[in-house]
Amino acid sequence: METHDLEEILRRHPFFEGLAPELARLVRGCARMQRFDPGRRLFREGQPAEHLYVLRRGRVALELAAPGHRALVFQTVDAGDIIGIASLVPPYRSLYDARAVERTVVIAIEARCIREKCESDPRLGYELMKRLVPVLFQRLSATRLQLLDVYGPPAR
């Protein structure tokens, strides 16, 4: 059920919606299915960022830890979304921890593989960037709102 269906699964995922079949095939060549049990980390802060993760099921918490403090979750990401964008931006290092909150199923896309394919086929590169920019944009706007701390009691 997995092998030839992975391309179909990719094309049906909200992030890759509308991707031409030949480009989906290129992505498929870098992709595999992966599962994470609750509490397992997809990646850790400071590690080389090697995969772009496309979430199919479950929930991932993005968090930061500081010495002497508990980890602070600043974002959760659900099915249909993506994480691991640091794997496409030099120096390709993760900026935070990503931990599965629920049993999470992802399509893990090997970053070096997809970067090389984007270099040789700019069409693929553009389709990927076209989809990434809105995600980054939404996250930036959302982060700004969170930064404003609007629900808290007013500062004295």
Partner 1 sequence: MSTARLRADPAVADPLLPRPVRLRRRRREIAGVWSLELVPADGGTLDFAPGQFSMLTVFGIGEVPISVSGRTADGAGLVHTVRAVGAVSGALCALRPGDLLGLRGPYGNGWPVAEAAAGHAVVMAGGLGLAPLRPAVEALVAEGVPLLLLYGARSPAEILFASDLARWATRPGVRVEVTVDHAGPEWRGHVGVVTKLVPHLPPEAADGLALLCGPEIMMRFAAAALGGAGLAEERIFLSMERNMKCAVGLCGHCQFGPHFVCRDGPVFRLDAVASLLRIEEL
Partner 2 sequence: MGEPDGHGASVAELDALLKALAARGRRLIGPTIRDGAILYEEIEGVADLPRGWTDEHAPGSYRLWRRADDALFGHVVGPRSWKHFLHPPERELWRARLADGAVTFDPAPPPVERLALVGVRACELAAIRIHDRVFLDGPFADPHYRALRERLFVLAVDCGEPAATCFCASMDTGPAVREGFDLALTEIVVGGERRFLLRSGSPAGRALVAELGLAPARPEERAAADGVRAGAVRAMGRAMPDVDIRGLLLAGLDHPRWERIAERCLACGNCTLVCPTCFCTTVEDGDDLLTGETVRSQRWDSCFSADFSYIHGHVVRASTAARYRQWLVHKLATWHDQFGSSGCVGCGRCITWCPVGIDITEEVAAFAAERAAVAG
153 contacts partner 2 (rule: CB under 8 A):
yes
Q: Which stretch binds partner 2 (CB under 8 A): 2-10, 53-61, 72-80, 148-156?
A: 148-156
- Comparing CB distances to partner 1, the nearer of 2 and 149 is 149
CB 47 within 8 A of CB 96: no
90 contacts partner 2 (rule: CB under 8 A):
no
Beta strands in the chain (DSSP E): 31-36, 41-43, 51-57, 59-64, 72-78, 82-83, 97-100, 104-110
CB 100 within 8 A of CB 43: no
Q: Which stretch binds partner 1 (CB under 8 A): 29-37, 47-55, 64-72, 122-130?
A: 64-72
75 contacts partner 1 (rule: CB under 8 A):
yes
Binding test (CB under 8 A) with partner 2, winner from 21, 39, 90, 154 = 154
Residues 126-145 that bind partner 1 (CB under 8 A): 138, 142, 145
Burial-class residue 115 by CB neighbours within 10 Å (0-12, 13-18, 19+).
middle
User: Taking the complex as a whole, how short is the minimal distance between the CB of residue 144 and partner 2, in angstroms?
Assistant: 19
- Comparing CB distances to partner 1, the nearer of 20 and 72 is 72
DSSP string across 59-81: EEEEEE--TTS--EEEEEEETT-
